[in-house]
Structure 1
């Protein structure tokens, strides 16, 4: 048997280092998923049962509130009918006697905010407040209905000041209209007893009823009129319509029971009563059930996972020892594996690994020999590459020298040739010139010499500054404009896209030479005050010659424009080759070149090429 080597506590529970830990974590994951599934199923069953019980209870509450409100309204109708019967039976029907009678009823039942008696033509003969004696109420709905039968109207507002308590808001109070006919023994209706039931009484009544239902439940009540407008309820519901039952649940926040029926007997008001309870309160038991089931199953899973780790750890001792020996071989602490005894999977794995280690040792020796051979070949190739790099640097220096020679030939050589021609003309024809003409010719020669000297200095400055490949297109253009401004005093503006400013290939060098030639033309001919150069990405379709095959992808746009005197591009100017040179260089890099200029309106040169 192999000696068992203890494992550190961290590795003991890390599935990357322990098969037992991996098995334990797998068991724990299965238990956690099972706990979650069981808790979800239990919560779903408990929630459905709790929802059904709560909705059934809310339906009972709505019925109780409906009966209680209806009973109270029916009682107030009976009070009005009793008042009407007393008035009919009274021998004194004078206005003062009627008013005292109404005031006595109002004192006994303060929920009547207004009481009044009218004749059969709608003229108020006595009243406690609000609508006064002598007023015509024949067009009021309560009067018309009260002539025929007892009547309860829907909620309305009236400009009535309650005499017994001041108004609490600036809004007119709400009332519930009520009326009963004044009918004599003969059956003749001689008037109407009308009343306004105080809305504060209605509010207090429904609050008391709601509180009496179940003080342990978070209940709320919505009371809607005949047209569905919410009259009682939370502030954000007041004035809204009960169009759909789903709205009252507020996206599942509440459980709801709804009852629509007439309150106050056969002639009552058709109101809708909605009793609600918050879903989180009603379904709290389901939530607790879910947590309980989850905790129980999770604890069982943890116990099972711990047991699985311990059992697996004992069963995999030989495998752990084999793994330790394999690591020792990898670290070089022992040359090969000791083959475990037995015929089980661990023994077969150990035998196979021992054979593999032997083959690997042989291959290691072969690789060392091969590496030695490769090292010598790499050294030889490195020396050859260094020679080729030196030759490449020499070729680059030669190309740079040739370029400088061309630059000097195009500048200094031309100027010296022109100066030599001027001197020869002066020497041969000096006898034919008078003093003034000789001074003019000498002045021209001096100008040619000064121009050649300036161009030579410019070429030398350009050689001393970094090339485009070293600093990028943006920096080279900015440096070129700075030298132009210092030399001419002309103001300049420069704007460059940060990405395009890093271009540093052969095309970038050509662009710099083209811009330099354009600035040379501005200096000699434009008489400009400001020069602008823009380097940016082109937008929209390509401009210029379509034969160049510009694509619709990323394109570079270089714009040079000045506010000088301008010129007519169609007018030929013999001896001026600056623009022709720019066109030839644009063709070399397959770029579109567009020239816009008019006399007195400056000049704009646009260069566009593929990125």
Structure 2
């Protein structure tokens, strides 16, 4: 019983620490994902701004209805843009979405002042001029501003383009990140400004200042982390944190805090703890009962013999010696006593010695049986705990891969697909059930690239070298409907005892390549005439000269061939 209790205590301590560590890792990962989503989204907004100010109709600055239509189109495509407008150098709004604030001055607004110099992002602030002009909504309007100078066709400064990004943008990112984990597991995301003001979070904390341990740690730890802390509401939370603005993509410095009540985070551990205690108690009761029954059964024949001998020692010579058939030693003893009853006095000392030997043997075997049962129980407990940890780790890894923003594919060394997440279904069009067990080359590698793929696999399996493994490359992937799409892929491998496991993360770069082509087209086109410029002429001149030289050689050869042919003379008529 003491051994069982000790094992239960050790299992309890180990699983408690493991559960807390897993919860901290999960929340830290959520904080990093929220930070990455904010930085990616802000980068996309800045790209929208650069594309907008580079459009010829905006740079011309003359056709106001056309400019207003361009702004309204962008707002329709990205509803989180509450207002988009262009101000003249004096601060007067020249054109804006739906005509809002046109003709009014914004010269004192930070986005206009700073946007005259370079790309600028203004931090979270309430609406001032637009509060009563925008459609009403349940919550007050709050904005994040993006601005950039606008240059005309000759590169001269002609005003500032500004965007008011509604704060509903950040709420949507947080909602997508937590759905459905937030409601089920009471997970909350907070975005905190550098001065401690909560920009996004629980209603009771929004636009109020905090000074929690996680906030202070986020100001110092660049890589993020997790802590267990008590918040002003008196509850203990496991909190993961991260911070935006570590690179140039994100100008705004926000602390991202993801918290979860400690009781909710460790609920699975509490349930496991109750089950372990219950199972341990039941096993202890069963072992005690079993030991009692076995002891009674083994000792009972010896007790019967002892009682008979005691009665005979008291002079009751008519009491028979019982013949016991339970196991060999007692049977031998009882039969010997029956045959040697007349020589009882003579062999009394030998009988007592044999009786003592039998009792010691019974005690020794009982002790060995108890030790064997205890060792077996310990082995079962360890095996059960390991099985639970493996199942939890597999479930958590599945959840992470299913909620990853990139497509994830895993294949063995024969190229057979063994894992396929939700993003892979969306990107490549194959359902997971249809993809598992198929050859990876047949599903996503175009026909003209498969030979190179097979050669690369053979080279890696034979020599352990590859230009693809552990590198990020761009290539064409095959969709389920047969078309090819550009993707960026990162391939890694895991050495296993029975071979290799190859893992790949993919994401669609169609928009990136389209933006690159658009930038190239802008670089090769004259902005004033929309005709190819000098750079385009220089790029295409060698190709045109090559075609002209080839045409000249063909024409010269044709003339030489005609010169060699002799004309036919007509026959004379007689």
Please state which band the TM-score falls in when normalised by the shorter chain. Answer: 0.3 to 0.5
Normalised by the size of structure 1, how large is the TM-score? 0.42
Say which structure, 1 or 2, has more relative contact order (CA 8 Å, 6+ apart): 1
